[in-house]
Amino acid sequence: MNQTPVLKINASRLQQRIHELAQIGKIGETGVCRLALSKEDRAGVDLVKSWMEEAGMEASIDPFANLIGVKRGSDPNAPVLMLGSHVDSQPYGGRFDGVIGVLGAIEVIQTMTEEGFVPACNIEVVAFCDEEGCRFNKGLFGVRGMTGKLEPDELERTDKNGMTRREALIQFGCDPADFEGYSFQEGRIGAFLELHIEQGPVLESLDAPVGIVSGISGPLWLTVEMTGFAGHAGSVPMPMRRDALVGCAKVIVALNELVQQVPGAPTVGTVGSLTVFPDSRNIIPENVSFTVDLRDIDLARRNALEAELLSVIDNVAREHGLAYTIREDTNSEPRYCADWIKTTMREEAEKIGIAPPELMSGPFHDSLTMSYVCDYGMIFVRCKEGISHNPKEYSSPEDIALGTELLYRTAVQISTERWRIQP
């Protein structure tokens, strides 16, 4: 940064709202738990809705529990510029993941209103429902609902307490019956912009407060269930056991080794959730269910690793006399940001004296789904030590303000110059 930039957005107002929202579902000093479609999620959505209205937007909740605020532009028939992210969290999450993308977008609109700026198109700010996917084991629900990409069994997915997504939606205040009358209008959205914390250490290592995202790695989510046979832990000889947990452990170790085969590659693999039955210290585990999260920006490499992993699972099952099933929960190819949006961001960044580096996103975001219906761009904000999905997640007020200012200036530019040349 060559000089201290002059910001048009109200940084103190933005920080106050981040603080207020963090009180809903607060755990410990800095943690947050606002699971999708929970009462805490609803309270958060209601608070955010009030800020949308304060910023001059018309706000409502759609059938998929997405909160949508609309700022009217001079041409209501022009393609919409959409901004947003999510406010649901992980069960052991931080204050900034998703939140700065929604509250930053509201600050963009409120600044436009205060500046007397009228965009050429309608601008919509969206807090998408259930981006995280931790409650029903499949994320990006709201954005996939909005864009017509839900799967047949979506509403029957259950959380750990046996509640279906259908029941949770009804408790939240939405009627799944309204899905029937909804259809996505192709071409309605011209572009989507998302502000988000990086959730990684790259920007901090470069001493850069913000970055421009070049693309999002393609995530593959699997749920694997391995079944053996329960027996007494003290009496069944080791060679005669069909221990599902031993099989699971070998798969976990193999996954960890597979994703590190290419030095320097951004490939990552994680087993983040595991359930053991009958879960007793002196019974050989009969059944184990575990998740696999495999990501890479290189789709061919990820596909090759998936094939190797499936072979490992099959070989381990044969070795230990286990049956197994594999369910694919999410499978997306890598998606790249629009060059014209990145160019606009770079030009606007230069005007405020910064030169954001370009970097890939390992985590997926609502932008991933939006990329299938319109051009998209993302701005990353530096986060301390790359920590996220953890109460210690932290981005400084100064960095968040700078990222929001870049979002504001990019949105102003796109909603004037870009839309002016639309047919």
Instruction: Note the maximum CA span of the chain.
Output: 79
Q: Per DSSP, what are the bridge partners of residue 204? A: none
Q: Which residues are annotated as a binding site for Zn(2+)?
A: 86, 97, 132, 196, 389
Query: Are 136 and 92 contained in the same domain?
Result: yes
Give the amino acid at 74: S
Indicate the burial class of 126 (C-beta count within 10 angstroms; 0-12, 13-18, 19 or more): buried
Q: Evaluate whether residue 379 is within a structural domain.
A: yes
Residue 257 in tokens: 């080794």
Query: Which pTM does this prediction carry?
Result: 0.84
How high is the mean pLDDT of the chain?
95
Give the tens place of pLDDT for each residue, 185-237.
Answer: 999 999 999 999 999 999 999 999 999 999 998 889 999 999 999 999 999 99
Query: Are 189 and 95 contained in the same domain?
Result: yes
Q: What is the pLDDT of residue 297?
A: 86
Q: Evaluate whether residue 297 is within a structural domain.
A: yes
Q: What is the pLDDT of residue 6?
A: 85
C-alpha 296, offset from chain centre:
16
Q: Evaluate whether residue 4 is within a structural domain.
A: no
Q: Residue 82's domain spans which residues? A: 11-216+334-420
Domain boundary among 283, 307, 331: 331
Query: Are 201 and 239 contained in the same domain?
Result: no
* Phi, psi of 117, deg, nearest 5: -85, 130
Residue 95 in tokens: 């204050």
Give the tens place of pLDDT for each residue, 361-401.
Answer: 988 899 999 999 999 999 999 999 999 999 999 999 999 99
Q: Is the peptide bond before 278 cis (omega within 30 degrees of 0)?
A: yes
Query: Are 167 and 235 contained in the same domain?
Result: no
| Residue-wise burial string across 1-22, b where 16 or more C-beta atoms lie within 10 A, e elsewhere | eeeebebbbbbebbbebbeebb
CB proximity list for 3: less than 8 A, separation 6 or greater: 353
Q: What is the pLDDT of residue 420?
A: 67
Q: Evaluate whether residue 5 is within a structural domain.
A: no
DSSP symbol at 4: P
CATH code for the domain in which residue 264 is found: 3.30.70.360
pLDDT tier for residue 330 given thresholds of 50, 70 and 90: confident
Domain boundary among 284, 312, 331: 331
Tally of domains in the chain: 2
Q: How far apart are CA 61 and CA 70, in angstroms?
A: 12
DSSP for 335-393 reads EEPPHHHHHHHHHHHHHTT--PPEEEESS--HHHHHTTTSEEEEEEE--GGG--SSTT-
Query: Are 168 and 91 contained in the same domain?
Result: yes
Q: How far apart are CA 7 and CA 212, in angstroms?
A: 19
Query: Are 345 and 327 contained in the same domain?
Result: no
Q: How far apart are CA 96 and CA 137, in angstroms?
A: 22
* pLDDT for 102 beyond 90: yes
Q: How far apart are CA 333 and CA 47, in angstroms?
A: 35
Give the tens place of pLDDT for each residue, 266-324.
Answer: 899 999 999 999 999 999 999 999 999 999 989 999 999 999 999 999 999 999 999 99
Q: Evaluate whether residue 3 is within a structural domain.
A: no
Domain boundary among 331, 357, 373: 331
Q: What is the pLDDT of residue 218?
A: 84
Q: What is the pLDDT of residue 1?
A: 45
Query: Are 223 and 237 contained in the same domain?
Result: yes
Query: Are 31 and 107 contained in the same domain?
Result: yes
Structure-token match 């609902």, residue found? 145
Q: How far apart are CA 121 and CA 414, in angstroms?
A: 10
Q: How far apart are CA 113 and CA 344, in angstroms?
A: 22
Query: Are 201 and 247 contained in the same domain?
Result: no
* pLDDT for 123 beyond 70: yes
DSSP for 16-81 reads HHHHHHHTTTEETTTEE---TTSHHHHHHHHHHHHHHHHTT-EEEE-TTS-EEEEE--S-TTSPEE
Q: How far apart are CA 375 and CA 343, in angstroms?
A: 13
Q: Which residues are annotated as a binding site?
A: 86, 97, 132, 196, 389
Q: Is residue 210 within 8 Å of 354, Cβ to Cβ?
A: yes
Structure-token match 């192709």, residue found? 186
pLDDT tier for residue 167 given thresholds of 50, 70 and 90: very high
- Closest alpha carbon to 361 in 232, 268, 289: 268
Q: How far apart are CA 21 and CA 42, in angstroms?
A: 12
